[in-house]
Amino acid sequence: MKYRNLSLSLVVGLGMMLGSCTKDSPLGIVDHDTDVVVGFNVTGKVLDKDGKPVVGARAKLLKSGLTCVTGSDGVYIIKGEGKAKLSKRTASVDTVGEDTVVVLIANEHGDSSEVVKTVVESGIVMDLPTTYIVQREIACPYVTADGIDIGKIEATVYDIAVPAIQKIIVLSNDKTRKAFTSFAYFSSATNKNYVLFVKVYDKTGKFIGLSSNYEFTDQFGNLAFATPFQCDNAKPVVTVKAPTKIYLKESITVEVSAVDSFGGSIVSYKVIANGKEYIPSSILSKISANGTASKVITVPSPLDTGSLTLETKVTDNDGNITTKENVVSVTKPSIEILNITMISNRLEVSNYSIGDTVTIIPGYICNAHSDANVQVKVEVAGETFNLESILESGSPYWTFKEPVKYFIPANVSESLTVKVTLTVNGEVFTKERVFTKSAVVAPIDTPIVTPIDTTEKVLPPKKP
């Protein structure tokens, strides 16, 4: 909160109310000077430097001790009685005499500070001294959420040069103006710079809001915030990262980061789903790009399709709670094994040949979430092949990295059954296809054997 200084101007006049001391000496023409008691009014007006009336200033006549407090128009009227002489020469009452008017303003400790001191004479307009006490109105407009029950409101003000010395001013809640208001009192012409801010509490005493700093000098006027502040702004600042869509039987990972608005600490995180509360794992946390630590909360897989509302609640050390809601769409993924294809010599075949090496390709559709657990298994003649599952680049569909290469052995029967098992997050899908043996046997490479000539050869006789 911030204060603005007020300059006061004070106009004082002395009005005479004539009256009789006794019924034996009525006011009128007399042949001698007579002492009488007369009533009088001393009036004045206290204004700030903008010409606005100052409310609550107290004017006092030092000799008589009579006092009066200024009203909403800044005017005071001190009424009293004093001795005067009834003159036979003028048939009028002389002035009551001289007295001193002091204008006082009570500070927060109940003390009084002298503002103006001067001799009162009829018709005098007084000038302010060099240094005096000024009164300023504090007006802080606010907005608040429905249901907030505002309790104590405090303004704190301090000299920028001495921030450790702070004054607390209790403000009232003007519900008609929707503003927190009060008055503060300053010494004028000290050339000081001040800072003022407002703290708001609810009826239970819980701190709920803090205004921005209002900086001003002692030459300023009334202290009025230009724009309303959110007086319940002490809640933690929370960011929630959660998926908008999941598939049935998938768990939900929620990342929650939070910062206390005014330097406090966060004491709890939780996510509520289907009436159950879930808290972060002590070992799961992440650091965001801006350095803020986030908590990871895992919500188990929903049991039904539809919409699931996640309610995230973060509480700070003052007991302020920020609530965020995320709606997650839960759908059943499209999972189906469409076909099983056998490729031989780059052609799709329905029959196999002994000794052939074929490629077996499981054809399926699976658009499960990127974090899904997808497993593909191919079984052929008692052998099992586990394929590595991958998510297609730029696509929501899963596929496999490499197909199955299978050599058809000689001991294969007249038919060959190929079974594909697709498991997605524990849900199992299977499909089988039977291939038959081809009537044509695939050629088998055999070594070429050159026959040995076993016939006797007769050698010609040697020459002598």
Over pLDDT 70: what percentage of the chain? 70
Contact 132, 188 (CB under 8 A): yes
Mean pLDDT throughout 152-158?
A: 91
Query: Do 237-331 and 1-20+31-234 have the same topology in CATH?
Result: yes
To the question of pTM greater than 0.75 for the whole model, the response is no
Q: Could you tell me the pLDDT band of residue 332, with boundaries at 50, 70 and 90?
A: confident
Q: What is the dihedral of CA 266, 268, 269, 271, to 10 degrees?
A: -150
pLDDT at position 29, please? 35
Q: Could you tell me the pLDDT band of residue 15, with boundaries at 50, 70 and 90?
A: very low
Question: Which of 4, 1, 8 is CA-nearest to residue 217?
Answer: 4
- The vertex-343 CA angle with 341 and 346, nearest 5°, equals 140
Please give the C-alpha separations between residue 392 and each of 244, 369, 428, in angstroms, as whole numbers. Answer: 21, 12, 21
SS3 219: coil
What's the mean per-residue pLDDT of the chain?
75
Return the number of other C-beta atoms located less than 10 Å from residue 454's C-beta: 5
- The domain locations on the chain are 1-20+31-234, 237-331, 335-437
Question: Which of 248, 308, 304 is CA-nearest to residue 278?
Answer: 308
d(CA 371, CA 204): 46
Q: In the predicted model, is pLDDT for residue 220 greater than 70?
A: no
Per residue in 190-215, pLDDT (tens digit) is 678 899 999 999 999 999 999 989 99
d(CA 155, CA 229): 14
SS3 189: coil
Per residue in 165-187, pLDDT (tens digit) is 999 999 998 888 888 888 887 77
Mean pLDDT throughout 414-420?
A: 91
pLDDT at position 130, please? 55
Q: Could you tell me the pLDDT band of residue 387, with boundaries at 50, 70 and 90?
A: very high
Q: Could you tell me the pLDDT band of residue 381, with boundaries at 50, 70 and 90?
A: confident
d(CA 313, CA 269): 6
Per residue in 73-92, pLDDT (tens digit) is 888 888 877 665 544 443 34
Please give the C-alpha separations between residue 222 and each of 11, 161, 443, in angstroms, as whole numbers. Answer: 21, 21, 106
User: Who's near 414: CB < 8 A, 6+ residues apart?
Assistant: 436, 437
Note the CATH architecture for domain 1-20+31-234: Sandwich (2.60)
CATH 3.40.50.970 fits 237-331, yes or no: no
Superfamily covering domain 335-437: Immunoglobulins (2.60.40.10)
Contact 24, 86 (CB under 8 A): no
d(CA 318, CA 298): 27
Per residue in 88-147, pLDDT (tens digit) is 443 344 444 556 667 765 444 444 444 454 444 433 334 445 556 677 888 888 888 777
Least confident of 295-304, 356-365, 408-417, 452-461: 452-461
* Paired tokens of 311: 């309610």
* Paired tokens of 226: 């230009």
Q: Could you tell me the pLDDT band of residue 254, with boundaries at 50, 70 and 90?
A: very high
d(CA 436, CA 422): 24
d(CA 171, CA 8): 23
